[in-house]
Structure 1
Amino acid sequence: MSVHELTRPLTLEWPAESLGNLPLALEQLHHWAQITPLQTALRHKRQGQWYAWRWIDALRDVERLADGLRQQGFDEQSRLALSGAFEPNLLLLALAAQSVGAPVLTLADDLPLEALQQQLWRIRPTHGYVQSRQQARHWQSIQRLDFAQLLGPIDPAQHVQRWWRPTGDTALWSEEGTHWQGGLAVVLEQWLSSGHGLAFPESPASARRDRSEVAPTGLLLSPSRLQHLADDIESRLAPLGTWRRRLCDWAIAHPQSGLRRVLKNRVRRLLGFQRLAYIWQPLKTSAEPTWLAEFKRDIA
């Protein structure tokens, strides 16, 4: 993970976009750090172990990062480009850049080399943050800095290496990255406006397992990722045309069926949705997959 220095006129088109101004973001971060300083704000699994940031830790990290950016010549005239999976470092760095007054851009993290180089030529960021070492080689830079160097000296005890779930604990969940158009703004707004903890998996490959360990109460996922979850459910059902599949379909179609409740509870546990109470979705959506529509009905 690194920040590089990269300069020219700004031309934005997807897969690049501006985070835009989140006027209440820093105010909300200060609010939760003052009201609930010791409650968990962020969770992230790294190398098989969960790490947690309290609200006061998140605020302090943003302030340290802002100081580190200024020391590297980052100011209101700079432009920070972010590319990668959503996780604490990326979110905190975005907030730090906004606190300095500089625009924050995102670039899809799944671009082939040629498209990546074209986008970098168009958006001309002065600084870039990219998680993949392989991708980082293609972000031509003047200077390459580690995230830890920006953060500066920090007490390891501030980052809790083990966490448990107290009664009534809420946890938003995201397994997305900058490939989700508009996603970073959604995640920051939902997290900071609600004051709920926000958790991230170690990798896309481990998302279902890590999600089950967290058992989130809310999902912050793109329509395509929700469809992926629906496809995951579909792949685990009996094949179409079999009597077991007909029984499943019949159970879902009959709300009073005891079998329907059994099936839904089994699917919830399988996906880590046993505590699910909220699914973020845009105002306009296409037809919802059957199982997700069922979960939303339960929530309502």
Structure 2
Amino acid sequence: MSVHELKRPPIADTTEWRVEVPKALEQLRHWAQVSPLQPAFRHKRHGQWFVWRWIDALRDVERLADGLSQQGFTKESRLALSGAFEPNLLLLALASQHIGGELLTLPDNLDPESLHENLWRSRPTHAFVQDRQTRQLWLNEGQSLLNFADLLGPVEPPQHLNRWAQGKPLWSEEGTQWPAGLSVLLEHWLTSGQSLAFPESLDSASRDRREVAPSGLLLSAERLQLLAAEIDLRLAPQGTWRRRLCDWAVFLCPTLVLLDEPSRGLAPIIVQDIFEMKH
């Protein structure tokens, strides 16, 4: 078996992975000013829900930007993110924008050969990878990885959420496998000013989602199909009076919405009360 090394392009080709977040910092500062103590993020960790207020999010972004600068990140730098969407990843994305560097997202399910090609083409100067096994693959490629705690420095831990604040959050159970996902999350979260909630893991997403009872879901087309199938299993069988009641309620008041690609807009699907129905 012979190995032929490809000639590295003189300029990184980042179009496929680039994340555009215009006015993100301006919007973050707006919500930190008008709603400083309202929840910005909610994330389940080790079986408990934690909350970041808008003012906390802004302060963390500023601290992370300082940490990135100390790691040599500049306007000419390129940060690659890989992993599940959750507060740490989004805050780090905003910190890179605070400095003005380029932001990329790469899937966290690439095999070694595909990862090598993606890194060879995108050529990130800095990277943040969450999954332990995925981190090792990146390290094998000679990529130096950032440590979130080191970048953030000593700060107060997020607050344990004993009860939900007024208002239902948006919900995400996606990651960088969804190419447009980070742009979608940042756009809807920062435009609406709603809290954005995340599950502890993909395996617990269904249970955690029911605990949150979100007002809207931020989903890729693939995840939307999986959730639609899950919802269908929770509804009464087709042809029964209970199913006809469910279908009629969905038609009258579709309050739980699934958001796919930005160009597709809102797709009403089902109300929360029906979502909780069992056979």
TM range (shorter): 0.7 to 0.9
Which runs of 5 or more structure 1 residues have no equivalent in the other structure? 1-6, 239-243, 256-260, 265-273
Q: Which amino acid aligns with 2:26?
A: E
Residues 293/216 of structure 1: CA separation in 2 closer, same or farther (3 Å cut) = closer
User: C-alpha distance in 1, partners of 2:132/2:27?
Assistant: 33
Alignment of 1:149-160 (within 5 A): 149-156=150-157, 159-160=158-159
String of CA shifts for 1:5-32, please: whole Å, max 9, x gaps: xx96212364xx1002x22110110111
Alpha carbons 1:216, 1:275 under 8 Å: kept? no
String of CA shifts for 1:54-77, please: whole Å, max 9, x gaps: 000000000000000001111011
> Which residue pairs with 2:173 in the alignment?
175
User: C-alpha distance in 1, partners of 2:258/2:143?
Assistant: 42
> Which residue pairs with 1:9 in the alignment?
11
| Aligned-partner SS, 1:138 | helix
| Aligned-partner SS, 2:44 | strand
> Which residue pairs with 1:193 in the alignment?
191
- The sequence identity of aligned pairs, in percent, is 53
Give, in angstroms, the shift of residue 118 of structure 1.
Answer: 1.2
> Which residue pairs with 2:277 in the alignment?
none
Residues 254/141 of structure 1: CA separation in 2 closer, same or farther (3 Å cut) = closer
Say which of 257, 266, 279 aligns to 2:258.
Answer: 279
| Aligned-partner SS, 2:239 | helix
> Which residue pairs with 2:33 in the alignment?
34
| Aligned-partner SS, 1:196 | coil
Q: Which amino acid aligns with 1:246?
A: G
> Which residue pairs with 1:137 in the alignment?
136
Confirm or deny that 1:213 pairs with 2:217: no
Give, in angstroms, the shift of residue 294 of structure 1.
Answer: 5.0
Residues 82/8 of structure 1: CA separation in 2 closer, same or farther (3 Å cut) = farther
Q: Which amino acid aligns with 2:244?
A: A
User: C-alpha distance in 2, partners of 1:100/1:141?
Assistant: 25
> TM-score, normalised to structure 2's length?
0.84
Alignment of 1:4-83 (within 5 A): 9-12=11-14, 14=16, 17-20=17-20, 22-83=21-82
Give, in angstroms, the shift of residue 145 of structure 1.
Answer: 3.8
| Aligned-partner SS, 1:108 | coil
User: C-alpha distance in 2, partners of 1:81/1:75?
Assistant: 14
| Aligned-partner SS, 1:80 | strand
| Aligned-partner SS, 1:125 | coil
Q: Which amino acid aligns with 1:100?
A: I
Q: Which amino acid aligns with 1:195?
A: G
User: C-alpha distance in 2, partners of 1:101/1:200?
Assistant: 27
> Which residue pairs with 1:270 in the alignment?
none
Higher relative contact order, structure no. (Cα contacts within 8 Å, ≥ 6 residues apart): 1
Give, in angstroms, the shift of residue 279 of structure 1.
Answer: 3.1
How many residue pairs are counted as aligned between the two chains? 260
> Which residue pairs with 2:124 in the alignment?
125
| Aligned-partner SS, 1:246 | coil
Give, in angstroms, the shift of residue 282 of structure 1.
Answer: 3.6
> Which residue pairs with 1:103 in the alignment?
102
Runs of 4 or more, structure 1, over 6 Å off, are none
> Which residue pairs with 1:246 in the alignment?
239
Alpha carbons 2:42, 2:49 under 8 Å: kept? yes
Q: Which amino acid aligns with 2:155?
A: I
Alpha carbons 2:39, 2:53 under 8 Å: kept? yes
Alpha carbons 1:216, 1:276 under 8 Å: kept? no
User: C-alpha distance in 1, partners of 2:89/2:159?
Assistant: 19
Residues 8/120 of structure 1: CA separation in 2 closer, same or farther (3 Å cut) = farther
User: C-alpha distance in 2, partners of 1:32/1:154?
Assistant: 21
Alpha carbons 2:217, 2:258 under 8 Å: kept? yes
Alpha carbons 1:170, 1:217 under 8 Å: kept? yes
| Deviation larger for 205-214 or 227-236 | 227-236
Which runs of 5 or more structure 2 residues have no equivalent in the other structure? 1-8, 275-279
Q: Which amino acid aligns with 2:228?
A: A
